[in-house]
Structure formats: structure tokens, C-alpha cells
Chains A and B, each alone.
Chain A
Amino acid sequence: MFDFFLSQLAFYLTLILVLFIPGAFLIAASRMYKKFSLLELFVLAFGSSIVIIDFLVILLGRTPFHITRTSILGGILFFSGACYAIFYNYRKKNKDAASILMQMPEHKLKKRPTFLIIAILFLTIFIKTVYLKDAIFPTATDLGHHMYWTKVIATTGQLPVYEKADIQGDYTISKPAPIADFIIGEHLPFAAVAIVSGAEFISSFAVLILFLIHMMSLLAIFILTRAFFINSKHQDAISIVALFLIGPLWAIASPQAKFVSGGVIGNDIGNLLIPLAILLFLQAFIAKKSSILAFALFVCLGLAYTHHLSTFVFVFLSFFSVLAYALLNTKTVLEDAKGWLKLALSPAVLAVLAMGIIFVFFLYTPTYLNTSAIDTAVGAPSKATRTGLTLAQLKSTAGEARFAFAVVGAILLFFATTLGKYNQAFLIGWIGALTIMSLRPDWLFVDIPSNRIASYVVFPVAIIASYMLVHILTMLKSAAKNYVSSIFLLITFFVFVTFITTNGLYDNALSLNENSSANKALQTYAASQYLAQRVGSGDVVLKDHNYLAGDAWIKLFFMKGYNYPLSRGFFKRYEDETKTREQCTNFMISVPNGNDAKLCYAGTHTNFLMINPKIDSTQFVRAKEFWQIYAGDDIGIFFKAL
């Protein structure tokens, strides 16, 4: 119990040190505290810490210090110290004696809204915790893949080389070749926390970090909504409704708690950094502050080092926002563009751009910045899953009730000139880009699974739906003073609330887990531990992805490469019409005595097989050359002896 207490303490202190302190010091050095409220700074400190840790660990990986506990702690200390020196120097020069808190702009909320916000946050965390309690044990496939690379960083102290070996046409295993599926920013913060805190990889630490990132992304949506509607007298109401629509309602389905337990790291971080980047750009243009623009670009750089799809989405929403701005402000756009250029040519912005160029070209180029990866994402949709969703599918992804209000709200936005021209343009650009990318990707030459893009739509939909909902209710309220009965207003309010709440809670109920898969996964891990202690350099293991629980985590026991053990994937993957897929991993388990399988065994030298004995043991028991060497309830291991 004492060990548990110590590990918990180490973990929470590490979270503060790695995921809060660097950002807080950067905020002090860049004097962001003069432009943002405490809550905004709290979220910004967290988001920017993720970015800082990414670049700090990349730098350490390129130095003789390597990535170790001492070097990370030293790096954070050095960075924070340097930021503090800048901050101290500025205050001394400007005789700035007022405390930071005194200099923050006041965005006061009244007592009742504050308690409402806290109640919504409590409900949000409660619902997600209830869901996560059965999904907290690490079994998710994506998370297993990500934790492999995280463990590579932690155990080698080096930046990972993303590559894997595949089975070739001549049945042999190729030399490892680069892969573009992973991006380093998805692993560095987790590696830093694991290294500093000493957290075990087969533990809840990764899901907890993702949960924290997710909660911060909800707060980011809340503060962004407040920023969007700063000129509205209903700012509080709209932002609280937005928090309600994005917090406790639709709390589990993608991209919410399911992405947390599923280990969809890139999307989760993207869902935090995108709203933060929009907030920073919005404030930079409104306040005409180059330091905020530089901060925004820094966050975007972090996004680009973390997740290609989120970056892609951000590029499109930026383009659409500029387009929306130009269309809505035809008379002033050219003059405004000169102002943007002036901001962009400031030393702070140029310094961030220079940093980006140095990192991309000299220190670490993100894996997706190669021709084949770009070709895969750009162009005419190549598969049925990439040709766009139907309106019904988009409605289901966004949440029916939210979608209904957002559709009307999006139209209303075009006439909402009082919101502020940048606020209006960003909102229209955000929802416009995601709607077209989801429904008609061919118009934009986007070749990415449409449902993945659509998962981003829930955030702008929630914001615009809350705007619409508050707008309707306030309209009715003012009408009630004249010719609409106040009873009618009350009924309308309750109808709307009931419609939205039941829809959101029903979605939660549908998404709740049946049972934890920890029992079966633990058997997989025990068998993996057994085998990892006994395989030699010439042994090759093949495991099944279809019927084994937590199988993606098996590679963490071997640490012999991303594709070790080999894996029989989902059966549909072997029937891909768009390209030839290797069949060996399927043949070697499904028909081990077949001629093709024999060639595969000979070529790949596979001699250990991890399968579910309830499904796949018969074909091995019949074959004389296989020995069953391990028997558990839900996992069996066979050895090919001849």
C-alpha cells in the first residue's frame, strides 16, 4: 500500500512538473498574463507545456545527455529558469511591481454561473469516471502501439526511429522500413512522464494522462466559447450551455471518453491544441499583438509535431476562416491583411518560425512529411470510407440534438455581425471546413477516412448549438414581455432541455462498456511474460489480433521491434481490393498445414504462435509438428517443433 501511495505521489508531482510548470513559466516570460484570464492561462499553461516538452525532449535526444530522468528534469529547470530570468528582467526594466494576478484582465462570473460551471464539471468528470473505471486497465490496441514507442524512448534514451519489418512477397521478413503512422509528439510527453515518475507501462498512467488532456480540451472549448461571444451580453449563458453540451452530454462516444480509453493520443492532443490555437489567433488579431501570434504559431508547431490529421484540419479551418473573413469584410480585408502582415513580420513571430524551420530541417522531421504519406492524405478519395459521410451519419456523429441547433445557428452566424468580425469568421470557417471535409472531401482533394474527420465536428457544433439555443430562448423571453405567454416560454425551455439532455444521455448509455477485458488481457500478459523469457534471437512469434485481448501490448514484453510479434489482423484486411496484402499471418494460424502456410513458416521462420485456444487450437492439435507448450483459459501457445 505504501508503494502505491508513493507511486501515486510521484505521478501527480510529475504531472505538475512536466505538464504545467514549463508552460506557466513561458506564459510569464511572454507576458501572456496581461491578456488572458486565470482560467485561460491555466489551460494555456497545460497546452503549451505539452508543446515545450516535445521540443525539449527532441533537443535532449539530439544531445549527448540523451533522454533520461536527470536530463529531462535539468531541461525543465533550465527552460523554466531562462523564462523566469526574462520575466524578472522585464519587470525590473519596467519597474513593474504589480503581481501577475493583479495584471490579469478580469472576466468575472457571478456566483450562480460559477457554481453551475462547477456542477457541470463535476457531472462531466463523474460520468467519464464511471465509464473509465471498466476501461482503465490497459488493453486498447491503439494505446498498445503508442506505448511501444513510448517505451522505446524510455528504455533507449533516444528518439525513436519509426520503422517496421513486414512479410515480403517471397515469404521472408523484410528489413525494417520507415513508417509514417506515428508522430513523435504522440509519445514524447508520455515518455517524459514515465521516465520522471517511474510509472509502469502496463498501468493506468497513459489513460490518466489522456483523461487529463481531454478534460483540459473541454475547458479549452469553454474558454474559447467565452472568447467568441465576448461581445454578447449572453456570453456566460452561451459558454455554460456549450460546456453542458460538450461535458456531461455525449460524454463517452468518440471523440470523448472512448478516445481516452482507446488511446487515440493524436486526436486527444489535437482536440486540445486546436481550440487553444484558435483562441490565440483570435486574440492576436483582435488585440493586434505579435507576441500572442507568436504563441499561437508555437502551439501550431506543437500540433504539427503531434498529429497530422489535426494539423490538416487546422490548416483547412484556417483557410476557411480567412475566406469567411474576406467574404464578410470585403471592404476592409485588404487593409486588414496589411495589419496581419505587420504582425507576422515581428521579431517574436519570426523567431518562432525560425525555430520551426530549424527543428523541421535540422533536428527532427515529422514522419508524415514525406511524399508517400502526403500522397496518401491528399487527392481524390481512394476508398469508400473516404468519399464522405451522409448527412444522417454526420448528424449521428455530432449528436442529433446538437446538430439540429447547430444547423440553424450556422446560418444565423452569417448575420451575427455584432459578435466581432474575427469571432464570426473563425466560427464560420471552423464549422464550414469540417462540414465540407466530412460531407464532400472530393471538393477539397482530401483522402482521409471521413468518419475520422467528422469526429472533430462535435466541438464547433456544440459551440454553435449553444449559441442558437440561447438565442432562441432570449428571443422568446423578450417576446414574452410583449405578446408571448411566459408559460409558453417555460414550456419551450423545458422541451429544449429535455430534447437535448435525453439525446445526450441516451448516447452515453449506448456507449457504456459491457465489462472490463482485464481478466483476459492479464492472461495474455502472463503468457507474453512467459514467452519473452524463453525466446531466443532466431525465434519468431505470431499472435492473433482477432481473438486475444490486449494483444497489441504483447510487443512491450519483447521489445524486439514494432512488428514483433507478427500479427494476424482482422480478416477483412486480407481482402483489400485496393492493394495486395500479405496473407502469411492469416495462413499460418488459420490453415497451418496448407501449402501456403508451409512456405510462410519456412520463409519467416515463425515458430511460436499465441492464439485463443477456444477458437484456434484444433488446427494445431491435428498437426504433428506443433506442440502446445502453454495452456491458459483464454490463451494458448504452440511451438512449431519440426
Chain B
Amino acid sequence: MNNKLIIIATSFFILTSFIFLSIMARKQADINAKNIWMIYFENPKDRTLGFTIENHSTETNFHWQILTDKSMTNQGDVVVKLGEKKNIPVSSANITDKKITIVVTAGENKKEIYKSL
């Protein structure tokens, strides 16, 4: 009977839908397709200043600056490819009572993190 046909058809439609949705979910979960990047301190709780640039964007050229209070003390350029992370070591020796800000720019986009040592 047609009960069988209804069950087979429904199962087929559901399976097709599930496969499609799974592919969509996989695409949406791909952070490298989101054109985003982030920066963070490797050790958030201590006085160290080493930071990481994690790139999931099409930008690959990053420029970083270290500001002590508001004056720039160091800067550099780094290439971080899509899907990669790059750690940049920064020394915190002899710094006291200062706000250290890391500013990273890529194209028009700028992000900063800081610690008050």
C-alpha cells in the first residue's frame, strides 16, 4: 500500500534535508570563512606581554605597536596566513606603573588589548 510509499518518501525527503542542513552547518561553522581576526595575551593573569594574532580573515599583513601609556615604544609587521596564529613575544622587564597597550591593525581594522603593570 501507499503507507509504505508515504514512509519511504518522507524518509527520503528528511534524509535529503538533513544532508543539506549538515553541509550548511559545516559551512557556517568554518571560522575561516568569516573574515575575522582576534588578538589576545597568551597569559592573561600575569605580567607577561606576549600576545597572539589569530587570523581567520583574508588580511594577511598585520602591523603591531606597543604603547607605554600613550607613547609608542616598539612596532613591527607580521604576516599571518588564513587559519594561522602567530605569537609575538614582548618583554615586560623594568615596566612599573604603566599601561601597556598592544595595538594591531590590518587594513582598516584595528584592535587593542592592554595591561596596567
Q: Which chain A residues have a beta carbon within 8 Å of chain B's beta carbons?
A: 4, 8, 12, 37-39, 42, 106-111, 113-114, 117-118, 121-122, 125-126, 128-129, 132-133, 136-137, 202-204, 207-208, 211-212, 215, 219, 516, 518-519, 522-523, 526-527, 530-531, 534, 539, 608, 624-625, 627-633, 637, 639, 641
Within the assembled complex, what's the spacing in Å between the Cα atoms of A479 and B19?
50
Residues of A with C-beta under 8 A to B44: 531, 534, 608, 627, 629-630, 637, 639
Interface-side segment among B30-38, B61-69, B73-81, B86-94:
B30-38
Residues of A with C-beta under 8 A to B6: 39, 114, 117-118, 121
* Shortest distance between the CB of B110 and any CB in chain A (Å): 10
Q: Are A204 and B114 in contact (CB under 8 A)?
A: no
Within the assembled complex, what's the spacing in Å between the Cα atoms of A531 and B5?
52
Name the residue on A nearest B18 (C-beta): A208
Residues of A with C-beta under 8 A to B111: 631-632
For the complex of A and B, the 4 pairs showing the least CB-CB separation, nearest first, are A204-B25, A114-B2, A518-B28, A629-B44
Residues of B with C-beta under 8 A to A133: 20-21, 24
Q: Are B115 and A641 in contact (CB under 8 A)?
A: yes
The answer to whether A630 and B40 touch (CB under 8 A), given A8-B22, A38-B4, is yes
Name the residue on A nearest B102 (C-beta): A631
Q: Are B14 and A215 in contact (CB under 8 A)?
A: yes
Place the interface of chain B in its size category: 35 or more
Q: Are B25 and A203 in contact (CB under 8 A)?
A: yes
Q: Are A38 and B3 in contact (CB under 8 A)?
A: yes
Q: Are A136 and B28 in contact (CB under 8 A)?
A: yes
Within the assembled complex, what's the spacing in Å between the Cα atoms of A117 and B4?
12
Q: Are A631 and B29 in contact (CB under 8 A)?
A: no
Partner of B21, one of A126, A136, A202: A136
Q: Is B70 engaged at the interface, CB distance under 8 Å to the other chain?
A: no
What are 27 pairs between A and B in contact, CB < 8 Å? A4-B26, A39-B7, A106-B1, A107-B3, A108-B2, A111-B2, A122-B13, A137-B29, A204-B22, A207-B21, A211-B14, A211-B17, A518-B29, A518-B34, A519-B34, A523-B38, A526-B31, A531-B44, A627-B44, A628-B112, A629-B113, A630-B38, A630-B39, A631-B113, A632-B38, A633-B38, A637-B44
Q: Are B114 and A628 in contact (CB under 8 A)?
A: yes
Within the assembled complex, what's the spacing in Å between the Cα atoms of A122 and B18?
13
Name the residue on B nearest A139 (C-beta): B28
Within the assembled complex, what's the spacing in Å between the Cα atoms of A207 and B25?
10
* Shortest distance between the CB of A609 and any CB in chain B (Å): 12
Name the residue on A nearest B112 (C-beta): A631
* Shortest distance between the CB of B87 and any CB in chain A (Å): 13
Contact code string B95-117 (vs A, CB < 8 Å = 1, else 0): 00000000000000101111110
Within the assembled complex, what's the spacing in Å between the Cα atoms of A539 and B36?
28
* Shortest distance between the CB of A329 and any CB in chain B (Å): 32
Residue pairs across A and B with CB atoms within 8 Å: the count is 146
Q: Is B72 engaged at the interface, CB distance under 8 Å to the other chain?
A: no
Within the assembled complex, what's the spacing in Å between the Cα atoms of A8 and B21?
11
Sample of 10 more A-B contacts, CB < 8 Å, known A625-B116, A627-B114: A38-B3, A126-B17, A128-B17, A129-B17, A129-B21, A208-B21, A518-B34, A519-B36, A522-B36, A641-B45
Within the assembled complex, what's the spacing in Å between the Cα atoms of A567 and B38?
23
The answer to whether A12 and B18 touch (CB under 8 A), given A38-B7, A136-B28, is yes
Q: Are B20 and A42 in contact (CB under 8 A)?
A: no
Q: Are A118 and B5 in contact (CB under 8 A)?
A: yes
Q: Are B115 and A629 in contact (CB under 8 A)?
A: yes
Residues of B with C-beta under 8 A to A608: 44
Within the assembled complex, what's the spacing in Å between the Cα atoms of A215 and B45?
49
Partner of A641, one of B18, B26, B43, B116: B116
Name the residue on B nearest A215 (C-beta): B14
Name the residue on A nearest B11 (C-beta): A42
Q: Are B29 and A203 in contact (CB under 8 A)?
A: yes
Within the assembled complex, what's the spacing in Å between the Cα atoms of A530 and B20?
31
Name the residue on B nearest A38 (C-beta): B3
Q: Are A8 and B19 in contact (CB under 8 A)?
A: yes
Residues of B with C-beta under 8 A to A518: 28-29, 34
* Shortest distance between the CB of B55 and any CB in chain A (Å): 12
Q: Are B41 and A125 in contact (CB under 8 A)?
A: no
Name the residue on A nearest B2 (C-beta): A114
Within the assembled complex, what's the spacing in Å between the Cα atoms of A637 and B28?
24
Interface-centre pick from B17, B111, B112 (highest chain A CB count, 10 A) = B17
Within the assembled complex, what's the spacing in Å between the Cα atoms of A118 and B14?
12
Q: Are B34 and A522 in contact (CB under 8 A)?
A: yes
Name the residue on B nearest A536 (C-beta): B45
Q: Are B38 and A526 in contact (CB under 8 A)?
A: yes
The answer to whether A136 and B36 touch (CB under 8 A), given A203-B29, A212-B14, is no
Within the assembled complex, what's the spacing in Å between the Cα atoms of A118 and B4?
11
Q: Are B21 and A523 in contact (CB under 8 A)?
A: no
Partner of A628, one of B5, B36, B113: B113
* Shortest distance between the CB of A417 and any CB in chain B (Å): 29
Partner of A108, one of B1, B17, B40: B1
* Shortest distance between the CB of A165 and any CB in chain B (Å): 22
Within the assembled complex, what's the spacing in Å between the Cα atoms of A526 and B20?
25
Residues of B with C-beta under 8 A to A203: 25, 29
Residues of B with C-beta under 8 A to A136: 21, 24-25, 28
Within the assembled complex, what's the spacing in Å between the Cα atoms of A523 and B31?
8
Q: Are A114 and B5 in contact (CB under 8 A)?
A: yes
Within the assembled complex, what's the spacing in Å between the Cα atoms of A182 and B110?
43
Q: Are A125 and B17 in contact (CB under 8 A)?
A: yes
Q: Is B59 engaged at the interface, CB distance under 8 Å to the other chain?
A: no
Residues of B with C-beta under 8 A to A128: 17
